[in-house]
Structure 1
Amino acid sequence: MLTKTIIKPNTYFDSVTLMRISGQLAEMEGVQDILVGMGTDLNKESLARVDLLTGEAGAASPNDLLIGVRVTGEEVLERVFQKIDELLSQRRDSTADGSEGAPKEQLRSIARACQSQPGYNLALISVPGIYAAREAREALHQGMHVFLFSDNVSVEDEIDLKKKATAKGLLMMGPDCGTAIINGVPLGFANRVRRGGIGIVGASGTGIQQVTTLIDGLGKGISQAIGTGGRDLSARVGGMTTLAALDALAADEQTKVIVLISKPPAPEVAAKVLDRAADTGKPVVLCLLGAGTMPVEGKGIIQCRNLEETALQAVSLVRGGQPVILPEEGGDRPAQEFLARRKPNQKYVRALYGGGTLCDEAMTVFRDAGIPIFSNVPLTPEENLANVERSQGHTFLDMGEDYFTRGRPHPMLEPSLRIPRLLQEAADPEVAIILLDVILGHGSHSDPAGVTARGIQQARQRAATAGRQLFFITALIGTAADPQGLEQQRRLLEEAGVAVFTSNVRAARVAASLAQEIAAPERM
């Protein structure tokens, strides 16, 4: 086994680009560990965790590019570094200004871009957190709305940015904003959906994706989907973006119904948000993810329990109150056939999620059913997974959480990085059911279902060798217009024997129902 870490001084690439490059390299034969990232403290910690941090790398600055690899031999190492140079060169070429004779430097700052081509009204920023606030301030100064994908921005900077945006009548989406759809244009991780009369405000990226894709599947569309960032409804930030977004949707003639998706806000912020929502003069559908509800009586706000119900309610309101249902999916027969064939000791569900909100929603289904769970993102101390590397009982993993993504691509970018854990769970003789999400759209992998299906087939083969069978359930989040194609992705999963649902809560309910059926004889 060979390891090598190199530094490319003063070589900057944005985090999304580097995550994609890491994902492509991770798929190369002979690569055991790979990290391609800027010299931030978090990336250095990630290198240290896999024993790739050298003294020189430890001294690198955030402007320096770090590349750490562990491979099986010299030939693999040579191929990896050739591929890195090729991918970085492609990225440099693709970011050149399309206008003839224009120097590339014009695109290296927001101010120069605005000078070169006036008229921009929105900036998408994805740079290391230590630079993100500065770039966002410049964008606001130039009169642009901001979609700030970057994380690791201080709460003090967030408050300052949102105050500046509010004073200028601009939207400050983020920091750590993963999803938005503005005037039909997907930003970050987002899906291609129909245009229509439903406007969305959300602190949750995958929550927005689930609701917008369900609405699209029901034949209706989205006017705007405005992300806020996860801290917006905290007591310190005070819901500034949420309030601005509600005002924007209230003034938008195309928006007929407003959907508000969030985790329970701070009590003092909740009152302001509910009052502002009631003042829009439009129907408002509220979905609080995780535990908790808010008193909404008398405010004309409809509160829903999950993302599917939220989508159905919004579509019903657009249709003038006409009842709306989601078609049945999955079918009961395969599940019952599995129950008849499983080994007596197979009793647990293992859930491997890329979407944190979808993981939270699935855990809520199990809690409501009275089924004890463990997780790396627990709601209570009793749910805390003692060792993230080893599951116990019914375990729910948010594999998009920092522990799994530091120095590695998010599973939505590179689903193959979830396969080793899938195989680990499949090898546990007590596991009966594996629950996953597969998320389509812009920003996501070009074939997430194909990658997942190949991992599932491998897991099935290993389990069969041990005399066991497994039941796989997937929440498939996407639309027919997505680059990956919803039906093509569904077909790949179904051909691998997976029960596929476009509603995450339905997928989780099937898993919970099977877990209860398995446990029922033990309680007799």
Structure 2
Amino acid sequence: LTSQVSEMAGVQDIMVGMGTDLNKESLARLDLLTEEANASSPNDLLIGVCVIDEETLDAVLEETDSILAAKKGPSKSNVSEDEQPRSIEKACQLSPGYNMAVISVPGVYAAREARQALRQGMHVFLFSDNVSVEDEILLKKTASAEDRLMMGPDCGTSIINGVPLGFANRVRRGSIGIVGASGTGIQQVSTLIDCLGEGISQAIGTGGRDLSDKVGGLTTLTALELLTADDSTKIIVLISKPPAQAVVGKIIAKAKLINKPVVICFLGNKTPLESVSNNITICNNLEEAAIQAVGLASGSNNITLPDEDACGFIKTANSQLKDSQRYVRALFGGGTLCEESMMVFRNLGISYFSNVPSVKTEALADVEESKENTFLDMGEDHFTRGRPHPMLEPSLRVPRLLKEAADPEVAVILFDVILGHGSHSDPAGVMAAAVKQAKEAAAKDGRQLSFVASLVGTQADPQNFDQQKRILEQEGVFVCVSNYRAANLTANLLKK
């Protein structure tokens, strides 16, 4: 709805969301909050639109009604609308045997629905965010006591018995199990494993707060136990942004007791991991984690991803860039991919600013205004309040990309393109069109720009990896098979 309406002539801005306080605040900032919208409940759908005239408004209303009617469509169920279950408990009564609940409701209701699912003996995949830490801890303790998985809240990705949940890719089945407190981290590692010819037994998301001090890794520990007991899992990979130091020791101690090889990648962990046993392999980036896991699964020490000849691209780019073009602007949909890229720059001693800094000195004073080298996680709340996540609607990154491309000091624009279930049907097409527009504008100003992208996906994904890669390359984007490579290539472009 957001994408289709925003592309209509005369539409200046649009916000679509439920009637939560947060969304009302977003409408107010856009000067679109009416009395009716302010009186709405979290069960109500809010649509705020800014248009140039009444004629455009009439067209928008007609198009909106058409889109919503098409989405509703005829029921595909044999059960009448009156008989449709209105609760998890009722659904289980009508069809006993369910063992997984996928929950995506406003945060104020999410914990209640998750408790109901756990009472029915189900595993829970909780996509919803804005759930209190106290509720999260209680839910996870309840699940752990029953050997159930409480994935989330704010869990973006899992693959259970080959079934993708949330944002997930179509990957081969295999012997490598993944536990991740990062949705895009799971997607990157699982797709690289697929690219290397191996497959996934299970991929268990935990939610981003699981390895915090308060939550203490409750779902991670349960997931490790389940994968240890799973005969189809021969290798275990554990990935996360930097966990709380108090939790690191707990996870390492657990991993030492597992009678299977364990690959651990805590991105950007500032404290070296100590007392690591023979069954544990420590990795510093997501590409390395995938390579090590495949090596352990195959028994080979010679596992490598396809080589990308970037020398020609770097040489051409450096010959075209002016001396005044010194900076990168990185626009990410994946938070973990943003974190990994910043880690690359940090390790190379290249300073940067971000809306998700690891230290205060790296923080942008205003996230709407980039400074020097800037890394933006555009899936963060500031950019997604009342709007879809950029993985759902990549066009929301386009205005920022064009703005960054207009800065005469910018040399490179780095971005990610994430494929798979749940993602936009043609994210490369959206970004490629923006790249073309940005290049044309820069050329009129007498400048050239370089564009680098990391493409996360597989040939089996609905969008198809090769097709998406070709779309980007047709506009001169250098496409890397891993985010780690894309970040390193970008850093090299700045060393002219």
The alignment's TM-score, normalised by the length of structure 2, stands at: 0.97
Aligned to 1:141: 119
Q: Deviations over 1:167-188 (max 9, x none)?
A: 2211000000000001111110
The alpha-carbon deviation at position 299 of structure 1 amounts to 5.6
Q: Deviations over 1:114-139 (max 9, x none)?
A: 12211111010000000111111111
Q: Output the amino acid matched with 1:490.
A: K
Equivalent position to 1:45, from 25, 30, 34: 25
Aligned to 1:388: 367
Does residue 357 in structure 1 map to residue 343 in structure 2?
Answer: no
Does residue 90 in structure 1 map to residue 65 in structure 2?
Answer: no
Q: Aligned partners of 2:222 and 2:144: how far apart in 1?
A: 7
Q: Deviations over 1:266-285 (max 9, x none)?
A: 23322222122222210000
Aligned to 1:282: 260
SS of equivalent to 1:346:
coil
Q: Aligned partners of 1:34 and 1:109: how far apart in 2?
A: 32
How does 1:212-251 map onto structure 2 within 5 Å? Answer: 212-251=190-229
How does 1:40-439 map onto structure 2 within 5 Å? Answer: 40-93=20-73, 96=75, 98-99=77-78, 101-103=79-81, 106-292=84-270, 293-298=272-277, 300-439=279-418
Q: Give structure 1 stretches of 5+ with no counterpart.
A: 1-20, 518-524
Assess if the C-alpha contact under 8 Å between 1:373 and 1:393 holds in 2.
yes
Does residue 459 in structure 1 map to residue 438 in structure 2?
Answer: yes
SS of equivalent to 2:461:
coil
Q: Output the amino acid matched with 1:139.
A: A
Q: Aligned partners of 1:314 and 1:296: how far apart in 2?
A: 20
Q: Give structure 2 stretches of 5+ with no counterpart.
A: none
Assess if the C-alpha contact under 8 Å between 1:97 and 1:107 holds in 2.
no
Q: Aligned partners of 2:367 and 2:49: how far apart in 1?
A: 24
Q: Deviations over 1:456-493 (max 9, x none)?
A: 00000000000110000000000000000000000000
Assess if the C-alpha contact under 8 Å between 2:335 and 2:377 holds in 1.
yes
The alpha-carbon deviation at position 88 of structure 1 amounts to 2.3
Q: Aligned partners of 2:55 and 2:104: how far apart in 1?
A: 34
Equivalent position to 2:479, from 467, 479, 500: 500
Q: Deviations over 1:362-381 (max 9, x none)?
A: 01111111111011111112
Q: Output the amino acid matched with 2:33.
A: L
SS of equivalent to 1:516:
coil
Equivalent position to 1:35, from 11, 15, 20: 15
The alpha-carbon deviation at position 297 of structure 1 amounts to 2.1
The alpha-carbon deviation at position 264 of structure 1 amounts to 2.9
SS of equivalent to 1:67:
strand
Q: Aligned partners of 1:229 and 1:105: how far apart in 2?
A: 33
Assess if the C-alpha contact under 8 Å between 2:327 and 2:409 holds in 1.
yes
Q: Output the amino acid matched with 1:265.
A: P
Aligned to 1:11: none
Q: Aligned partners of 2:303 and 2:341: how far apart in 1?
A: 22
The alpha-carbon deviation at position 97 of structure 1 amounts to 5.6
Q: Aligned partners of 1:258 and 1:26: how far apart in 2?
A: 44
Q: Output the amino acid matched with 1:433.
A: V
Q: Aligned partners of 1:269 and 1:329: how far apart in 2?
A: 37
Assess if the C-alpha contact under 8 Å between 1:330 and 1:499 holds in 2.
no
Assess if the C-alpha contact under 8 Å between 2:243 and 2:269 holds in 1.
no
Q: Aligned partners of 1:239 and 1:334: how far apart in 2?
A: 43
The alpha-carbon deviation at position 89 of structure 1 amounts to 2.5
Q: Output the amino acid matched with 2:225.
A: D
* CA RMSD, Structure 1 to Structure 2 (Å): 1.4
